[in-house]
């Protein structure tokens, strides 16, 4: 393959503009790959705030007074949604990965004090927990023990309990998990965490900024936040259903002083003390100010309105998918919308046919599912085109699937 070289003479801005524009997927078919945007008015507010502060560097968020105040206001507003005890705290991060790493890192540092006998520390997470748990444990020298799910595809407390060893330092539950949109039984995990004195982390990257509003609208969810006394940390992504521009996420701490397990304060170089809010060094300050703008623009009323819309769209999508011969919508607690194929239909082929029509779809392998991160930017054009082309793709996949089986036998 030929390598791209730095051009001798620069490319004119206009030509670049055209080239880059031609790379963009259209708004309808590229929709799912741009998940986490609000409707157009929210996007305008977010983009204006982001653009204004785009060139500032978030590395200074602990030092520059205005940025520190705004980041603090964001984390205060966020924390208030999770039923926090009075001395809880929060940290702004660059994404769910970063938030989960922050929690695993703090868990490890806490365990060095609280569980010194755990020489080769282990963390227990259900099979459905996000792969950032595996990545984080790898980075931090922790052993991740994944437990089998129950028949309901949620974490099975008995399996978690059976996996505990003298080296176990913490448990992880999802609220909800990405593949199935299901809440793990956080209260039951909490009882185990209390009994064995373990750190319990809840990965609410998907649900963190949707569930508080869905619950206010009457959606029944098992307790998943600081209402469960054993929960020590929660990760929640502002850049998913918080409708804030990436990169923006939060990790919430039961006690603000857990930040002593989070921060690292190196000063062993010529530049003196180097402390940052999280793992990232330089980062776009635009996302801090944009999160502030979006949270304040929407307020409770705005988030409730968008949650009501997404819940209605979810029902419409699930009914539309179930009405397609050969597809089965999964029953999820919240989000994402997930569906699989009936016998005789190869879901990978459905995905392939959709890709031929220009759709970028997310999926999980075990069992085969397509996951739709349905957000408040999904408008009538997206929903109706999606359902129409999904029906067509399923029909094509069904035909292809039979032909392939005939060939095989």
Ligand X SMILES: *Cc1c(COP(=O)(O)O)cnc(C)c1O
* CA 208 – CA 250 distance, rounded (Å): 9
Taking CB under 6 A as the rule, does residue 178 contact ligand X? yes
- φ, ψ of residue 356 to 5 degrees: the values are -60, -30
Q: Residue with structure tokens 């020298």?
A: 141
Choose the binding region for ligand X from 37-45, 152-160, 198-206, 325-333 (rule: CB under 6 A).
Answer: 198-206
Judged by beta carbon, residue 201 or residue 349, the one nearer ligand X is: 201
Q: Residue with structure tokens 């963009």?
A: 24
Q: Find the angle CA(375)-CA(380)-CA(382) to the nearest 5 degrees.
A: 65
Of 95, 378, 109, whose CA–CA distance to 265 is shortest? 109
Among 203, 318, 333, 375, indicate the residue that binds ligand X (CB under 6 A). 203
Total of residues contacting ligand X (CB under 6 A): 13
Taking CB under 6 A as the rule, does residue 237 contact ligand X? yes
Judged by beta carbon, residue 345 or residue 377, the one nearer ligand X is: 377
Beta strands in 204-345 (DSSP E): 231-236, 249-253, 327-329, 337-341
Contact 340/332 with Cβ under 8 angstroms? no
Rounded to a whole number of angstroms, the minimum distance from the CB of residue 42 to ligand X is 19
Judged by beta carbon, residue 100 or residue 332, the one nearer ligand X is: 100
Among 128, 233, 249, 393, indicate the residue that binds ligand X (CB under 6 A). 249
Beta strands in 148-297 (DSSP E): 168-174, 199-203, 231-236, 249-253
Residue nearest to ligand X (CB): 96
Taking CB under 6 A as the rule, does residue 205 contact ligand X? yes
Take residue 237 and report the two structure tokens written for it.
């992504």
Judged by beta carbon, residue 174 or residue 394, the one nearer ligand X is: 174
Taking CB under 6 A as the rule, does residue 232 contact ligand X? no
List binders of ligand X among 84-113 (CB under 6 A): 95-97, 100
* CA 89 – CA 92 distance, rounded (Å): 10
Judged by beta carbon, residue 241 or residue 289, the one nearer ligand X is: 241
Taking CB under 6 A as the rule, does residue 130 contact ligand X? yes
**Residue numbers at the binding site for ligand X (CB under 6 A):** 95-97, 100, 130, 132, 174, 178, 203, 205-206, 237, 249
């Amino acid at each position: 393959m030929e390598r791209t070289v730095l051009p001798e003479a620069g490319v004119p801005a206009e030509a670049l503009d055209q080239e880059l524009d031609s790379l963009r997927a259209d708004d309808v078919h590229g929709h799912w790959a741009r998940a986490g945007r609000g409707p157009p008015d929210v996007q305008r507010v977010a983009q204006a705030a982001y653009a204004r502060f785009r060139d500032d560097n978030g590395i200074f968020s602990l030092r520059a007074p205005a940025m520190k105040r705004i980041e603090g206001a964001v984390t205060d507003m966020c924390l208030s949604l999770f039923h926090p005890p009075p001395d809880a705290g929060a940290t702004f991060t660059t994404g769910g990965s970063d938030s989960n790493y922050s929690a695993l890192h703090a868990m490890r540092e806490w365990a060095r004090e609280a569980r010194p006998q755990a020489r080769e520390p282990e963390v227990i997470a259900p099979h459905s927990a996000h792969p950032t748990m595996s990545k984080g444990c790898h980075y931090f020298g922790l052993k991740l023990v994944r437990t089998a799910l129950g028949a309901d595809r949620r974490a099975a407390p008995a399996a978690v309990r059976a996996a505990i060893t003298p080296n176990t330092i913490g448990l992880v539950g999802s609220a909800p998990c990405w593949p199935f949109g299901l809440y793990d039984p956080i209260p039951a995990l909490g009882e185990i965490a209390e009994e064995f004195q373990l750190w319990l982390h809840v990965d609410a990257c998907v649900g963190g900024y949707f569930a508080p509003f869905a619950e206010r609208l009457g959606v029944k969810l098992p307790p998943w936040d600081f209402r469960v006394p054993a929960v020590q940390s929660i990760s929640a992504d502002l850049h998913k259903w918080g409708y804030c521009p990436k990169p923006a996420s939060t990790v919430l701490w039961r006690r603000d002083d857990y930040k002593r397990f989070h921060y690292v304060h190196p000063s062993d170089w010529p530049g003196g003390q180097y402390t940052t809010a999280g793992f990232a060094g330089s980062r776009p300050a635009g996302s801090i100010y944009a999160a502030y703008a979006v949270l304040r623009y929407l307020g409770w009323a705005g988030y409730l309105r968008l949650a009501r819309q997404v819940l209605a769209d979810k029902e419409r999508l699930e009914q539309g998918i179930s009405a397609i011969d050969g597809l089965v919508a999964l029953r999820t607690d919240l989000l994402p919308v997930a569906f699989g194929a009936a016998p005789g239909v190869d879901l990978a082929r459905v995905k392939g046919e959709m890709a031929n029509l220009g759709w970028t779809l997310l999926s999980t392998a075990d069992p085969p599912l397509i996951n739709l991160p349905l957000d408040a930017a999904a408008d009538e054009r997206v929903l109706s085109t999606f359902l129409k082309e999904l029906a067509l793709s399923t029909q094509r996949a069904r035909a292809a699937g039979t032909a392939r089986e005939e060939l095989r036998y």
